[in-house]
Structure 1
Amino acid sequence: AARNFNATVVISLLQPSPEVFELFDDVLLMNEGSIMFHGKREEAVPYFEQMGFHCPPRKDVADFLLDLGTNKQDAYIVGSNVPCQSAEFANRFRESSIFQKTLKRLESPVEEPLLVPDVTPFRLSFFEDVANLLRRQMMLTSRDTTYLMGRAVMNIVMGLLYGSTFWQMDDSNSQLILGLLFSCAMFLSLSQASQVPTFIEARSVFYKQRGANFFRSSAYVLAMSLSQIPMAIVETVVFGAITYWFGGYVALADRFIVFLVSLFLCQMWFTSYFFFLSSVSPNLTVAQPVMMVSVLFFMLFGGFLITKDNIPDYLIWLFWIDPLAWCIRALSINQYLAPKFDVCVYEGIDYCTTYSETIGEYSLGVFNLPTESMWIWYGWIYLFAGYFVFVFGSYLVLEYKRYESPENVAVVENDDDGEASADLTAYSQMPATPKGVHDHEKVIEIQDVDDVMGGVPTISVPVKPSGRGISLPIALAFENLWYSVPMPGGKKDEEIDLLKGVSGFALPGTMTALMGSSGAGKTTLMDVIAGRKTGGKIQGKILLNGHPANDLAIRRCTGYCEQMDIHSDSATVREALIFSAMLRQDANISTAQKMESVEECIELLELGPIADKIIRGSSTEQMKRVTIGVELVAQPSIIFMDEPTSGLDARSAKLIMNGVRKIADSGRTIVCTIHQPSTEVFNLFDSLLLLRRGGRMVFFGELGEDSKNLIDYFEAFPDVKPITPGYNPATWMLECIGAGVGGGHAEAGAQPMDFAERFIVSDQKVLMEEDLDQEGVLHPSSHLPELKFETKRASNPRVQFQFLCLRFFRMYWRTPTYNLTRLFISVLLGCVFGVIYQSTDYSTYTGANAGVGLIFVSTVFLGIISFNSVMPVAADERTAFYRERASETYNALWYFVAGTLVEIPYIFFSSLLFCIIFYPSVGFTGYITFFYYWIVVSMNALLFVYFGQLMVYALPSVAVASTLGALFSGIFMLFAGFNPPAGSIPTGYMWVHWISPPTYTIAMLVSLVFADCSEGSTDGISCKSLQNAPPTIGDMTLKEYVEETFDMKHSDIWRNAMIMVILIVVFRVLALVSLRYINHLKR
């Protein structure tokens, strides 16, 4: 591309292979912020050789350059007076002729053809930008069929639920009429909040493309806004039509059109608001709490939960800026000023005589709404103007503010500047253990007596003794392995083979590499051998010391270092190692010995300087060492490693693999997949299993000194081009086989041949079969008994429970973003409700409804916040749980119990903070009642937290759990008994009312406060007569109104409490079943 398009290309690389390095024209070598060299690639090595360094044969040039200026450069020094620090290299370079030539070139005038002509910032006009962006956004939306289907189903289902629940409601009951209007506006408007994560995710793409002047910010914002209109129209028409006609509103076309237009404008206002919120928020973590708090304010000041006359004067401005209030005002006036309600006598009551108003005007006056039709236009104008205000605000934010930060920034410190640098220095100086047998090493021999007598040499494995608790040496063998999975998109019984007859072995004290081209099946093979596959069909033999391997034996005697470095990242490094040692080492090993093994592991992997630091925030290289340490400290006999050098630079990769070499020399069997290792790293391995695409074997055997055996094998084929001096054998062999069929380095004119077929008829395969066909490898040996474990897990239940509880409580204490946030929200909500409701008179009709609405909103809102907050935390821990469960670290029961207990103190404390502020501020009284109120609020929060955990455990992702949770929350709110009141819910839906958890929480809280009036008593707010009630209500006390209208009775408190406890238990049992039997980690 650089040559064909005459383009300037600048690339930074972590581990450039020789063939990639040779593609570059210039090299810029940096260390600690200083330029050590910048010039032609061919000049780099001669430049440093003149300085007194020598690049050894078979050493990758890129690796050689990366080692300069570090503690590893001593191996290349051949001269005197060589620089050591990066600053010294930089000074030498500034004095060099190469740098002087660069300066001279920069100072010379630029040639005419290289001058960049003046161009406009954007290639297309504004309207062309808008058209292209709109077309792209509509295409992306149309392709997201899951999202479209989800929104369509949600709209239809909720429309049918709302419409059928409020089916042909009583026109004279203004609470029902306004209740459905409020619900319609709330659902359509606030459902747009689900797009905030999508908006934030798309913002990163916008930053990249806007930075390259693909388009104007204004065009992007306008296109995004216009793209929302078609969906909003469809949703408004479908949902609005169902609820309008099912609910029995005025059957006039003009009223129906006003209804739809009002809902559409309100929905577009909220769409633009959430888009603005996603533009101005630095990330989703900030956007979600702001969104939730703003939604609360929109609900409270919408004019239904608390009417205008009950809002304090100093907060009335919130009522006037609330879009829901404008929408509900327009919808209410549209209904009650219809000819049907412009009458005096309605259902036998003369409203003009009694109240000097028509029934329509009276019904609007009950909720303190105006009676002039002009307010419909005012509402439309406000919503329309607000839409454009937020669109323009989004443009300003996106144009002038960027939430971009550099990724993977390394903090550079001098070698003597502290523990972190000392860690790197010490680790970099750790020498690679020679692969030869030394005097102080013992030799494990796996031999067949008959073979020895016949003169066949035994397999000798060098093993360096460990100080404590050395694991039993185990030889791993596999023969004729086939692995098949169903063909994607194929017939029911059609399968595809990913592994085809793979055989091999790995011995104690050795490192075996699994390599091949992309898609060859390296990780698949390792997952099959390690027993980590969750699907597909496996055929063939897997043996441990010659005995058939069962699933438990593999899980107990092996460790698996995953590529993604999954940990409970709130633990310290030492705590993670102790957790693994205590739970995965055998129960008969003393605690002191286990702790000694932890310290030995820390010393071996040079984790001391970071041992007491929290894992969260560790560098990639440190995380790799922690991953290896967690598996190593479990004292496994076999360790599997999946791409341990991925994401590391060449130096860090060498450091990690040096540590792995030391582990192998301690007597363990190492099996490792690796992709394009450097020559140094490749030479650390003892054996290689090479696969071609399609899962077929190309080579298996010992590599030999400097990979001599491998090179000799491939160079024996006449059509293979010999390796050139200094070339990486790992890269060369992959180029030899190409994608698995001869090519790459084949001689010109030669007939390409399948290297898998060549291996089948080669002497190398015969040697492999001879090595396999021995006692202790492929056959049982009398000297090596079969691995058997009496228990499924190494540790006993008490230890599992103890350490899981300890980890969970530490994790919660060290996760302030979760716990401090909910404490803050509890205090904030208590203050907000207290300020708004402090002067509310609950003895009036609107005051009583506001009081029940207050309990409803506060309870449901606290529950939903608890539900949404716990899901990310539970999901993060779930990934670590899957890894630990695969190695039988602990029983899912004790993980479940610990996760259950840790929430209780935090929930009860945060609920106490809320109640201390909320309860007296809103005018509730009574110490005993306060205590019960606190207990019920705590149980409600606990129920929603456990419900959130259940969703995470049972469903594949947080996104799916959130979507399904939103649906359940909508249903819970609808049938909780407030809107519509329990007494007005159709008989056919009462079963939904009875299974809705908030039903019992709200009923208990409302009856505690508003229905606590013993017979004949006149004390307390519950015993007061209801004032300003509509004539359809009649004369009754507050207790009678609450019990008759909302079916919330004081006598049912203990029954409701027992049902809540049962629901909590049901959610926990389902969570335990999900943890035990559902695994969303597919391999």
Structure 2
Amino acid sequence: MESGTDAFGVSSARIGSFSICRNDVREAFSTSSREEDDENALKWAAIQKLPTYLRVRRGILTEQDGQSREIDIKNLGFVERRNLLERLVRIAEEDNERFLLKLKERIDRVGLDMPTIEVRFEHLNVEAEAYVGNRALPTMFNFSVNIVEGLLSNLHILPSRKKPLPILNDVSGIIKPRRMTLVLGPPSSGKTTLLLALAGKLGKDLKFSGRVTYNGHGMEEFVPQRTSAYISQYDLHIGEMTVRETLAFSARCQGVGPRYVLCSPVNDFFFWLSIGRDVGRVAAALEGQEASVVTDYILKILGLEVCADTMVGDEMIRGISGGQKKRVTTGEMLVGPARALFMDEISTGLDSSTTFQIVNSLRQSIHILNGTALISLLQPSPETYQLFDDVILLSDGQIVYQGPRENVLDFFKYMGFKCLKRKGVADFLQEVTSKKDQEQYWTRIDEPYSFISVKEFAEAFQSFHIGQKLGDDLAIPFDKSKSHPDALSKDKYGVPKKELLKACLSRELLLMKRNLFVYVFKMFQLIFIGFITVTIFLRIEMHRDTITDGGIFMGALFFILVTVMFNGFAELALTILKLPVFYNILDATLWVLMSYYVIGFDPNVGRFFKQYLLLLCLSQMASALFRLMAGLGRNIIVANTCGSFAMLAVLVMGGFVLTRDAVKKWWIWGYWISPLMYGQNAIAVNEFLGKSWRQVPPNSTEPLGVLILKSRGIFPEARWYWIGVGALIGYCFLFNFLFTLALKYLDPFGKPQAVISKETLAEKIASKAREKVDLSSRGEGSSGGGNESKRSASFRSLSPKVGSVNDVNQSRKRGMVLPFEPSSMSFDEIRYAVDMPQEMKAQGISEDRLELLKGICGAFRPGVLTALMGISGAGKTTLMDVLAGRKSGGKSDIHSPHVTVYESLLFSAWLRLPPEVNPESKTMFIEEVMELVELTSPRETLVGLPGVNGLSTEARKRLTIAVELVANPSIIFMDEPTSGLDARAAAVVMRTVRNTVDTGRTVVCTIHQPSIDIFDAFDELLFLKRGGEEIYMGPLGHHSCHLIKYFEEINGTPKIKDGYNPATWMLEITSAAQEEALGVNFADIYKNSELYRRNKALVKELSSPAPGSMDLYFQTRYSQSLLTQCMACLWKQYWSYWRKPPYNAVRFLFTTVIGLLFGTIFWDIGSKRTREQDVFNSMGSMYAAVLFIGFQNCASVEPVVAVERTVFYTERATGMYSPLPYAFGQVILPFRD
């Protein structure tokens, strides 16, 4: 049978149902009788008589029972919005296309043209500069050398040693409207860079050439960020907000759709009568609602209704699942008005059924509403692949193919390659350009195989008829006159700035409420410090007789100023964390109320309120200053350093630590620009010009207060109070303005850094220069390359497994150096519930507990690879957490970034293997594990940070597996080991998993989008439906025959088509829509099946220990002694310490700068001892030095510890060590240096 298009020609049972509704749109959406329509017409006629303002706010809403009533669209309640959405799109898979067709029909009825966008890119070249090999690693030596080299390079003294790294090489193409285009390619092929370039979001550090146009207009002629939307592969959200709040905020800021219909010539009530009778359309136009109809619609389409009122969550806050978070990222852009969508890996973490639904909804919107979409997917299932109209295949930065999906296999057949049976076309396309995988697809038996490079593919495509047509189309410029006037956005913002301000304020208030603990803690901290202050400077101990007494009061005033300033330092972290800071007014109020009369300041009420006003201005200025430092730093370590430096400069030059007359002439300008100087002058003048200080001491003609001011170098004129207040207000505006500029013009800190070998770079450069690349390391191939029975190189080790479990057992039990005891696990009636979220209770749910798992039963056995599957939110990860008591192979791949691969495994083995294992056996075992998971090659590579440097995503997942394997476990749980990988990388990981199972271990994996090859690698399946109910637990069989037989025996279930992916078919036929259509509950069917009874018997059998077996028992909680734990933690943290250039360099530079500043500011200060003030100046220098060196070390170490904190939690949960050894390593390490 022909594979590829023929094999998957009919992609889904659902596709047929989607096409039915096109026959008669009106009939499909007729929800009321003719009499009801007449009644509605009368109601609309009554509304027409209302004034314009009221008329546009009124609508007719038909309830589910058929009754209609008039409503205020601007104030739609939750129940009304739900009823409206249920009427329009009751089931997303079935009703969305009908709704869009109805909307399009009504727009066409008025004769409006929908704007379209055609995106062209011609001769696009993108290049980066990167260090090669070891020079790219973040070591202290490299960091220091790079700084010196960068300075010399900028001065044109020394050429830069950065090498050019080509990313995109002379690519050209057209993204047409009303067609959905898929971008495929192996890792590092340039997919993300292409999407960013077309969306106008390329980083400034990349060299860019070529031209990108929208409808013939260059990007300088419109605002591409508003015209198009780039959906990132990274999920960046505020964890304290719910899903609904996140999308609603995005909708309020972007505007919820095109407004050209309101500006058209038919903008009268007849237009609303013909198009706007749907309340949804009118409500979408009346933006500004926090919970808009558009937000609810997107929640429905993306399948996020079930978690709409759940917090998104982050590393420290439990929230929605990874797949749901990925859909939130997509939804943030879909609620906006962009008509060109560039979507980067939107299916990561999603099951194939959910991915199909989302992509199909996008396809309907693109086709019906004339949109433009370019979507990158990692592992698209065959049926999802079939939804696309065009395909772009990228490899090594060059376009191998761009054109209709139907012709892509013809091109590769023209080149001599053919897709194998039971192989998805998308997987074939990502492997056919790879050196390791290409040979298996060669079909010309009469010709010897020879590797065809990407350059040869790209050149051949130019002569292929599709490539020739593309070239002809590019040669004809787009006619700008045909561009719709509303297609390209010329406005920078979609809503008035007033609405943006309201949206931001409402979000900040919401976050303040969600983070109430932070603000309550700050308040108690302030009260505690205030209590200490007033007891030290107690009124009964304070006198006003001499200048020395005045110095004590001056010290109290200075301490108050410094406390308020330091309180603003919290703005740094909170700004980085995107949390609002509204406690400043409360700070000033509490401080003045607690301290003013208790300390004994001048009792005049007017001066009390003047001090309050001054401290309020100072707190706002301090917050603005540190907010600016956060905006400039953009990274918590750098921001803390900038903040410490700013605090140092402001404090030392403020007039208290060093008086004005003692400031050196080369630093006097610093005195005049220090905000604290103005605050110090103002608060001192306010106090010492009061009645309490007007007595004239003996031998003087001036009041005591004036003498005190002059002795401290402070201006004694009363006007300096208002000068100080005005200066602080001015600085507040200045710093906030500069903060706004920093947000606008500075890019995010810490961009991804390329780490490549010299050989790889040479090959890329040679390819770009179109030179012959020496491929001496490649296989010469053989004439037998066309044998379709040959498996992919990625799965050669899996080929024995394709048969039954018994067949596999013959080739199992691969021995290793360290023995282990195979173990099985059985579980029965597993239930798990959490407290019902308050947001869900607010929507009318009365239950106190939300049950996530409902009576799960099953067993996992040695040598059997079990897949745990279910749609996103079914409870897969929760079940693994419950069974394992922790995440053993978590999907987040948490590792210390500054140790090598080998060091990570050595550390794990050191602490987790029994003490009786000798070092030689331990080393041999580590080497065996590295070979097993294919990590021998990158053994000396730093793990790095995800997406920044170090290991690739696929290698990090294999490292996660290896870290667990070196503990020599019997049972391993892996949470989504293939999530975020392309098909080939997923195959490598699954080969690692298969190798692990073949050692006789029990392995369970959750998996979302398995290809046919990957799904065939599993032996058994535990399948969950949404709500945490079990609907299948049993063997898969050869080509999933047992699974298919079980579901096909259920009455009404559609039969699987030839060549169809069983995993995808299983997810489709068990969806909520199919359950409702069939009128069945698959969980109940399973509970009444013979398979369930067999599983119960197996669970009962495995629950009884075998004769002679011993109970699991460990003498101690940890494998190693406390001393060994301490030494291991110290060893690891030592290497991590010296491989943290930002941390060490920042401390070194800051200490150096402080030394230079103090040396120049306090130059020769110690030699002056003639006056009391000279002694105070010397003491001030020592006070400032001790304070800021310690403060900076504290501030810089906090974010470093925070980064390692997640690693600590993970390693402690695995039983590596107790908290004491970790703390020991952190404390002892600086002294070891």
Question: Is residue 2:441 matched to residue 1:76?
Answer: yes
Aligned Cα root-mean-square deviation (Å): 3.7
User: Identity of counterpart residues, as a percentage?
Assistant: 32
Which amino acid counterpart does residue 270 of structure 1 have in structure 2?
A
Query: 1:139 aligns to what?
Result: 506
Among 873, 879, 885, the alignment partner of 1:525 is 879
Q: Determine the C-alpha separation between the residues in 1 that align with 2:662 and 2:1068.
A: 79
The alpha-carbon distance between structure 1 residues 201 and 580, as it changes in their structure 2 partners (threshold 3 A), is: closer
The alpha-carbon distance between structure 1 residues 473 and 196, as it changes in their structure 2 partners (threshold 3 A), is: same
Query: 1:802 aligns to what?
Result: 1127
| Residues 1019-1058 of structure 1: per-residue CA shift (max 9 Å, x gap) | xxxxxxxxxxxxxxxxxxxxxxxxxxxxxxxxxxxxxxxx
SS state of the match for residue 11, structure 1?
Answer: strand
Note if contact 2:794-2:984 (Cα within 8 Å) is conserved in structure 1.
Answer: no
Q: Determine the C-alpha separation between the residues in 1 that align with 2:688 and 2:1222.
A: 57
Q: Determine the C-alpha separation between the residues in 2 that align with 1:500 and 1:433.
A: 37
The alpha-carbon distance between structure 1 residues 653 and 246, as it changes in their structure 2 partners (threshold 3 A), is: same
| Residues 592-651 of structure 1: per-residue CA shift (max 9 Å, x gap) | 111111111122222122101221222211111111111112221221111111222221
Note if contact 2:870-2:1025 (Cα within 8 Å) is conserved in structure 1.
Answer: yes
Which amino acid counterpart does residue 586 of structure 1 have in structure 2?
P
| Residues 898-938 of structure 1: per-residue CA shift (max 9 Å, x gap) | 333223234xxxxxxxxxxxxxxxxxxxxxxxxxxxxxxxx
Query: 2:604 aligns to what?
Result: 252
Q: Determine the C-alpha separation between the residues in 1 that align with 2:1201 and 2:990.
A: 33
Deviation at residue 21 of structure 1 after TM alignment:
2.6
Note if contact 1:520-1:691 (Cα within 8 Å) is conserved in structure 2.
Answer: yes
Query: 1:576 aligns to what?
Result: 904
Q: Determine the C-alpha separation between the residues in 1 that align with 2:1015 and 2:424.
A: 12
Deviation at residue 677 of structure 1 after TM alignment:
1.6
Deviation at residue 258 of structure 1 after TM alignment:
3.6
Note if contact 1:464-1:667 (Cα within 8 Å) is conserved in structure 2.
Answer: yes
Q: Determine the C-alpha separation between the residues in 1 that align with 2:1000 and 2:478.
A: 64
Question: Is residue 2:459 matched to residue 1:91?
Answer: yes
Query: 1:962 aligns to what?
Result: none
Q: Determine the C-alpha separation between the residues in 2 that align with 1:150 and 1:583.
A: 38
| Residues 62-112 of structure 1: per-residue CA shift (max 9 Å, x gap) | 212111201223222223578622222211212211122223223335465
Query: 1:995 aligns to what?
Result: none
Query: 1:45 aligns to what?
Result: 409
SS state of the match for residue 1118, structure 2?
Answer: coil
Q: Determine the C-alpha separation between the residues in 2 that align with 1:312 and 1:682.
A: 76
Q: Determine the C-alpha separation between the residues in 2 that align with 1:167 and 1:486.
A: 49
Deviation at residue 762 of structure 1 after TM alignment:
1.4
Q: Determine the C-alpha separation between the residues in 2 that align with 1:425 and 1:157.
A: 71
Deviation at residue 48 of structure 1 after TM alignment:
2.4
Query: 1:103 aligns to what?
Result: 471
Deviation at residue 304 of structure 1 after TM alignment:
1.5
Query: 1:166 aligns to what?
Result: 537
Query: 2:664 aligns to what?
Result: 312
The alpha-carbon distance between structure 1 residues 568 and 683, as it changes in their structure 2 partners (threshold 3 A), is: same
Deviation at residue 289 of structure 1 after TM alignment:
0.4
Deviation at residue 381 of structure 1 after TM alignment:
4.3
Q: Determine the C-alpha separation between the residues in 2 that align with 1:831 and 1:631.
A: 49
Structure 1 residues 386-535: aligned runs within 5 Å: 386-403=731-748, 429=793, 431-434=795-798, 436=800, 463-489=812-838, 495-532=849-886
Query: 2:55 aligns to what?
Result: none
| Residues 773-802 of structure 1: per-residue CA shift (max 9 Å, x gap) | 54xx33222264444334443344554343
Q: Determine the C-alpha separation between the residues in 2 that align with 1:798 and 1:399.
A: 52
Query: 1:954 aligns to what?
Result: none
Note if contact 1:442-1:465 (Cα within 8 Å) is conserved in structure 2.
Answer: no
Query: 1:360 aligns to what?
Result: 705
Q: Determine the C-alpha separation between the residues in 2 that align with 1:905 and 1:693.
A: 54
Question: Is residue 2:1008 matched to residue 1:675?
Answer: yes
The alpha-carbon distance between structure 1 residues 903 and 729, as it changes in their structure 2 partners (threshold 3 A), is: same
Query: 2:1206 aligns to what?
Result: 879
Deviation at residue 710 of structure 1 after TM alignment:
0.8
Among 1123, 1131, 1140, the alignment partner of 1:815 is 1140
Q: Determine the C-alpha separation between the residues in 2 that align with 1:592 and 1:402.
A: 49
Larger CA deviation: 381-390 vs 683-692 = 381-390
Q: Determine the C-alpha separation between the residues in 1 that align with 2:1223 and 2:492.
A: 59
Among 658, 676, 679, the alignment partner of 2:991 is 658
Deviation at residue 333 of structure 1 after TM alignment:
1.6
The alpha-carbon distance between structure 1 residues 124 and 901, as it changes in their structure 2 partners (threshold 3 A), is: closer
> Gaps spanning 5+ residues in structure 2: where?
1-364, 765-773, 780-790, 945-949
| Residues 326-350 of structure 1: per-residue CA shift (max 9 Å, x gap) | 1111221222223443342xxxxxx
Query: 1:178 aligns to what?
Result: 554
Among 549, 569, 572, the alignment partner of 1:193 is 569
Which amino acid counterpart does residue 94 of structure 1 have in structure 2?
Q
Among 874, 881, 895, the alignment partner of 1:567 is 895
Number of aligned positions between the proteins: 822
Query: 1:327 aligns to what?
Result: 679
Deviation at residue 887 of structure 1 after TM alignment:
2.9
SS state of the match for residue 355, structure 1?
Answer: coil
TM-score scaled to structure 2, two decimals?
Answer: 0.62
Query: 1:635 aligns to what?
Result: 968
Query: 2:491 aligns to what?
Result: 122
Deviation at residue 51 of structure 1 after TM alignment:
2.9
Query: 2:981 aligns to what?
Result: 648
| Residues 277-314 of structure 1: per-residue CA shift (max 9 Å, x gap) | 33333533322101101101211221122222333333
Note if contact 1:442-1:464 (Cα within 8 Å) is conserved in structure 2.
Answer: no
Q: Determine the C-alpha separation between the residues in 1 that align with 2:388 and 2:371.
A: 13
Q: Determine the C-alpha separation between the residues in 2 that align with 1:532 and 1:569.
A: 22
Q: Determine the C-alpha separation between the residues in 2 that align with 1:285 and 1:428.
A: 46
Note if contact 2:550-2:705 (Cα within 8 Å) is conserved in structure 1.
Answer: no
The alpha-carbon distance between structure 1 residues 130 and 177, as it changes in their structure 2 partners (threshold 3 A), is: farther
Note if contact 1:461-1:508 (Cα within 8 Å) is conserved in structure 2.
Answer: no
Question: Is residue 2:1171 matched to residue 1:844?
Answer: yes
Q: Determine the C-alpha separation between the residues in 2 that align with 1:827 and 1:839.
A: 20
Q: Determine the C-alpha separation between the residues in 2 that align with 1:96 and 1:694.
A: 51
Which amino acid counterpart does residue 537 of structure 2 have in structure 1?
F
TM-score scaled to structure 1, two decimals?
Answer: 0.70
Deviation at residue 267 of structure 1 after TM alignment:
3.5
Q: Determine the C-alpha separation between the residues in 2 that align with 1:23 and 1:635.
A: 45
Which amino acid counterpart does residue 829 of structure 2 have in structure 1?
N
Query: 2:1157 aligns to what?
Result: 832
Question: Is residue 2:721 matched to residue 1:376?
Answer: yes
Query: 1:910 aligns to what?
Result: none
Question: Is residue 2:651 matched to residue 1:299?
Answer: yes
Q: Determine the C-alpha separation between the residues in 2 that align with 1:797 and 1:765.
A: 47
SS state of the match for residue 1165, structure 2?
Answer: coil
Which amino acid counterpart does residue 382 of structure 1 have in structure 2?
A
Query: 1:965 aligns to what?
Result: none
Which amino acid counterpart does residue 675 of structure 1 have in structure 2?
H
Deviation at residue 713 of structure 1 after TM alignment:
1.0
Deviation at residue 198 of structure 1 after TM alignment:
4.3
The alpha-carbon distance between structure 1 residues 438 and 357, as it changes in their structure 2 partners (threshold 3 A), is: closer
Note if contact 2:440-2:792 (Cα within 8 Å) is conserved in structure 1.
Answer: no
SS state of the match for residue 376, structure 2?
Answer: coil
Q: Determine the C-alpha separation between the residues in 1 that align with 2:414 and 2:802.
A: 38
Deviation at residue 568 of structure 1 after TM alignment:
2.3
Q: Determine the C-alpha separation between the residues in 2 that align with 1:412 and 1:66.
A: 22
Which amino acid counterpart does residue 924 of structure 2 have in structure 1?
E
Query: 2:786 aligns to what?
Result: none
Give the number of the structure with larger relative contact order, counting CA–CA contacts within 8 Å between residues 6 or more apart.
2
Q: Determine the C-alpha separation between the residues in 1 that align with 2:749 and 2:648.
A: 30
SS state of the match for residue 672, structure 1?
Answer: strand
Among 1181, 1190, 1196, the alignment partner of 1:869 is 1196
Note if contact 1:15-1:649 (Cα within 8 Å) is conserved in structure 2.
Answer: yes
The alpha-carbon distance between structure 1 residues 829 and 755, as it changes in their structure 2 partners (threshold 3 A), is: same
Larger CA deviation: 895-904 vs 726-735 = 895-904
Deviation at residue 699 of structure 1 after TM alignment:
0.5
Which amino acid counterpart does residue 689 of structure 2 have in structure 1?
L
